[in-house]
Amino acid sequence: MNKNLIVVSALMLSSSCFAAKITRTEYVDTWKETAIQQMMEHNIPASITLAQGILESGSGNSTLAQEGNNHFGIKCHGWTGKKMYKDDDAKGECFRVYKNASESYQDHSTFLKTYNRYAFLFDYEVTDYKSWAKGLKKAGYATSSTYPEKLIKIIEELELDQYDSGMTLEAPELIVNNESVSNKHSVMLHSNKVKYVIVKEGDTFYKISKEFGLTLKQLYRYNDFNSEKDMLEAGDVVYVQPKKRSNIFKRKRTALTENMTVAEVSQKYALNAKTIMRLNGFTSPDDIIEKGEKITLR
């Protein structure tokens, strides 16, 4: 075989082994929607999730991220799934391995909500990334004494806190008969991190379910209207994702400013009606709660 050809082949093989590294900006573009979704479901700041992912995985370039889809350096801690071992604080430590990186993001949220030492973090506002950063160090997430400063620096350099604020999310495009049209609803984000739309004249449950790719059963389950309500009215709030359930680490009692049914409270506060009933001893979504009465909402 020609010596020059051998050299060229070797160089090509060598270069193919070194894929271009993911930049921090590329990492954010790839995972920001996932981080926001986790924030809406679990009340963990998207900026914190993204910054931890960048720091713990080297923007997705680390061996742990590449081979184990583990973007948050989460160790085994009773994990029954696939594992891998690498040197960290000690030699040959056990780390969780995931089927894909999205599973890693979900487990990161579950991990923080499962262990009691992180419970106090959920008392902070979702926009208070500095307290979250310091709290993670206090709770023992990382051993580095400068862990909070590193997270805060990443967040501020990349302006990740923009993903923590309440926002209006544009509804996706709807394809009808192979023609692309814009949905007429803008998706709003409740302060409780649940997506909803405001009903317009002529809207029906069926129209909204089709617009957002939901079944009627799903849409009914996401909303808690009084049993007599069979038609939507302009101005009604309709949730297009499941409402929050109770948080065992954070209880909140609220005094009502008007007479409301359990169902109406559920719609106003984006909280599951069955959860409100269970927490307060109600037996029906139609039970009336009088003005001034304090109820537990989470």
In CATH terms, 253-296 corresponds, of 3.40.50, 3.10.350, 3.40.190, 2.20.180, to 3.10.350
What is the pTM (predicted TM-score) of this model?
0.54
24-163 and 253-296 have identical folds = no
Contacts of residues 200-203 at CB distance under 8 Å and 24 or more positions apart, as own/partner, are 200/234, 201/234, 203/232, 203/234, 203/238
Whether 278 has a pLDDT exceeding 80, the answer reads yes
Question: Is a pLDDT exceeding 60 seen at residue 10?
Answer: no
Q: Is 126 helix (H, G, I), strand (E, B) or coil?
A: coil
Does the structure show a pLDDT above 90 at 37? no
* pLDDT at residue 265 is higher than 70: yes
Q: Does the structure show a pLDDT above 70 at 24?
A: yes
Model pLDDT for residues 90-141, shown as the tens digit of each residue: 788 999 999 999 999 999 999 999 889 999 999 888 889 999 999 999 999 9
> Model confidence at 14, in pLDDT bands (50, 70, 90)?
very low
pLDDT of residue 6: 46
| One-letter amino acid for residue 157 of the chain | E
The per-residue pLDDT for 184 is 65
- Top-confidence residue, 253 or 289: 289
Q: 244 vs 110, 115, 120, 179, 185, CA distance in Å?
A: 15, 20, 19, 35, 22
Name the fold adopted by 24-163.
Lysozyme (1.10.530)
pLDDT value, residue 19: 56
Instruction: Look at residue 234 and tell me whether its pLDDT is greater than 60.
Output: yes
Q: Which single residue is written with the structure tokens 């957002």? A: 212
On whether the CB atoms of residues 223 and 267 are closer than 8 A, the answer is yes
Predicted confidence (pLDDT) at residue 282 exceeds the cutoff of 80: yes
What pLDDT score was predicted for residue 2? Answer: 52
pLDDT in tens, 70-95: 999 999 988 889 999 988 767 889 99
Residue 108 pLDDT: 95
Please report, for the chain, the start and end positions of each structural domain, with discontinuous segments joined by +.
24-163, 168-239, 253-296
CATH 1.10.3720.10, domain 168-239, yes or no: no
